[in-house]
Amino acid sequence: MHNKLLILLSAFLAAPLFAGFVAADTAADERPNVVFMLSDNLGYGDLGSYGGGAVRGAPTPRLDEFANQGLRFTNFNVEAECTPSRSALMTGRYAIRSGTTRAVPVPGIPQGLAPWEYTMAEMFRDAGYDTAMFGKWHIGASEGRFPTDQGFDIWWGFPNSTDVASFPHAIGFEEGLLPSFPFYEGTAESGAKPAGEYNLEARPLVDETITERAISYIRERAGDDKPFFLYLPFSLVHHPSLPHPDFDGITGNGRFADAMVEHDHRVGQVLDALQAAGLDENTLVVYASDNGPDRAEFPHVGDTGPFRGYLGTVHEGSIRTPMILRWRGKVTPGKVSNEIVSIHDFMPSFAALAHAELPDDRAYDGVNQLPFFTGETQRSARESVLFFHDDTLIAVKWKQFKIYLREEGVERTNATYRDLWAPRVYNTMIDPKESHDIAHQSYLWTLAPLLQEVMPFVYSVNNFGLIQPGADKRSDAQVNIPFFKPELLERSLNKLKKQAAMGS
């Protein structure tokens, strides 16, 4: 058996590790603007177009209309928490490569994206785009790691998570124990400077400010021949999900429902601004969520739809979220796809869109999906995604199968894990709650594609290393991280065969 595994791995070594991207077939002066709106902790089942909305007492008419105008994805995959997902979006790389597998807890700590990471904003800027961001960063809260340090021409927002707004109001909180949690504002030239305190008084007004600044930016771009990239990571519906006073009580179904209605309205305002400025025809607009909702016992949380798990796990309820893409005249409106797409794919896809080249001194995990988005091809450029927690590989999704190498807690965040004696296999197409292990039912063959998807990543880590959290120098990168051992898989395979032979 060991020899067979070695032969299998050798075959994979001969294959290319990453698919290259194809340049978009458009003239440089016709390149579209890109607006990316990211919700915070919004679950798969929260929008009306995904089975929620009015059914849950929080109608989302603008987002539902937007879904009818674009391509709606039902198998869009993210990472398990806010910081890893946002890192993956900006870099096109698994967060484990970037040292961003955990949230940046408080301001001033040298964690987040390393200064030499190449971000989506830097790619757009280098390709001749103007770049702007309004909202939550959460992948760096110290000098050298703010959005204005990593490709954005202008930024207003906050570097940490929204829950910091409630810290000063907590029982027993001592003034001076932690640094303040400010909003920031600045430009790439001047740098980001504190611009007010983020607290519970400011919390309900955040998304109004994000939207107002976005609308002003869009108006300024009207008539400008230079394309732009506008990134809008909203604060809603992350707890504390306090809606704007204009929306407080509007549904009669509690503050989370009110916050959902406000969020829908804010997205609609941005879409209206694009139309009013005459820019919506040549603007690619993406709406997505960074991860699923928080654990069930939290107040004011979203809905995972048919899926199991919450924020902090790698079950589908955490890593499968809404994603809608609209590009008028290029993307078929009203279409729904269950093809596997990942948040990592936007970086190479947008590079193709912008006619940009990505640095070749690092590994990328995203693939160019532009031909799939525009209908040139009918299938996604990927058929698998790897899922990590911290520095541990937990599971691999391949086609309709989800293969777990480790077991995790489900109904809480920051799940703990233990190695499984034998891998577990779920068919998420017919078992979305991942509750019926089919590994012993003649599904041992799924371990072969698991190896096919995992081993190129392992070898690329050996080639390029992993960035340590908080690293300031490229020489700080680690290599040969033993988070996956073929001999452990062989042991598990033998165990499964014994179980199958015994009829267990």
Tell me which residues are annotated as active site. Answer: 82, 138
- Which residues neighbour 410 within 8 Å (Cβ) at sequence distance 6 or greater? 308, 309, 310, 313, 315
Maximum distance among all Cα pairs of the chain, rounded to whole angstroms? 72
Burial class (CB in 10 A: 0-12, 13-18, 19+), 18: middle
Torsional class of 191: left (φ above 0), alpha (ψ -120 to 50), beta (otherwise): left
Q: Per this entry, what is the length of the chain?
A: 504
- Which residues neighbour 478 within 8 Å (Cβ) at sequence distance 6 or greater? 465, 466, 467, 468
CA gap 4, 439 in Å, rounded: 20
Both tokens assigned to 168: 């000063």
Residue that the structure tokens 């929306």 belong to: 247
* Cis peptide bond N-terminal to 261, omega within 30: no
Say how far residue 409 (Cα) sits from the centre of its chain. Answer: 21
Helix (H) or strand (E) holding 407, with range, is strand 401-408
Residue that the structure tokens 């002003």 belong to: 216
Q: What is the dihedral of CA 280, 283, 287, 288, to 10 degrees?
A: 180
What sign for the dihedral angle of Cα 262, 264, 266, 272? negative
φ, ψ for residue 463 (rounded to 5)?
Answer: -80, -40
According to DSSP, the β-strands at 335-337 and 71-73 are parallel
CB atoms within 10 A of CB 314: 28
Strand order in the sheet with 191-197: 191-197, 182-187, 154-158, 130-136, 228-233, 33-39, 283-289, 323-326, 71-73, 335-337
- What does 20-70 look like in DSSP terms, one character per residue? PP---SS-GGGPPEEEEEEESS--TTSSGGGT-GGGGT---HHHHHHHHHS
Local structure of 408: helix, strand or coil: strand
